[in-house]
Amino acid sequence: MDICISNMHGMLEALKERDRQGAEATEKLIKSKDRVKDTAEVFTPNWVVNDMLDLMPPETFEPATTFLEPACGNGNFIVEIFRRKMMTAVRREMAGEVMDAELQTLISMSSIYGIDIAEDNVAETRDRMWQWAFAIGRVWRPGRFGSGSFMSALWQVLDTNFMLGDFINDDGEITFTQYRFAPDLSFVTQETRLKDMLPAPAPAPKRRARLKAAA
């Protein structure tokens, strides 16, 4: 097994620190009154995020489980979902399974999708996901986390999965990229447009024909 108790201790300390920073970041629940008015932007406090995610069975947070946050803000739910998935992988290793920390990071992150209409929120989400990936990875695999192939895959995942978009009035721009990773961290992708995943709109009522008949 590739992880030792001192690594785990460091890891838990780093995560606690991240939690504290996350809680502080989310204490600021709005950025401005105008934004609340324009886009209903009110962030969910860290403790509510945790209470809500605690309602889900722990097996929900498998690294490969797919999550979509259609109005992700600055990532409050997404970062906690990612952290929980990573904890699943770490616990599995502690139970004796052989795990590749970089691969588990990529699998966990690439199956989470976040969309927001505000560019600064998407940038913050990407930044926080990046920080979390390294906060966990560096204590899980000290000195052996952040290979070239991992970094280029991670950049791509951050770019494709945390998207600027209008989830309500999407005109075909929103695309989900599904990743399949090989053990050497090479990958293939498949793209699906949100538009193609939704049921076809109900046919419009035949109002024109009725009006014609009446005339």
Name residues contacting ligand SAM, limited to 168-187 (CB under 6 A): 168
Tell me: does residue 135 bind ligand SAM (CB under 6 A).
Answer: no
* Binding of residue 115 to ligand SAM (CB under 6 A): yes
CB 114 within 8 A of CB 133: no
* Among residues 99, 103, 118, 185, the one that binds ligand SAM under rule CB under 6 A: 118
Taking the least distance from each CB to ligand SAM, the nearer of 42 and 64 is 42
Instruction: Pick the stretch among 10-18, 66-74, 153-161, 189-197 that binds ligand SAM (CB under 6 A).
Output: 66-74
The Cα 164–Cα 195 span in angstroms is: 16
* Residue 174 CB partners (closer than 8 Å, separation 6+): 115, 163, 165, 167, 193, 194, 195
User: Residue 76 or 88: which CB sits closer to ligand SAM?
Assistant: 76
| Residues with Cβ within 8 Å of residue 153, at least 6 apart in sequence | 106, 179, 181, 185, 187
Judged by CB under 6 A, the stretch of 58-66, 143-151, 160-168, 189-197 that binds ligand SAM is: 160-168
Stretch that binds ligand SAM, among 7-15, 114-122, 142-150, 202-210 (CB under 6 A): 114-122
**Which amino acid, one-letter code, is at 60?**
T
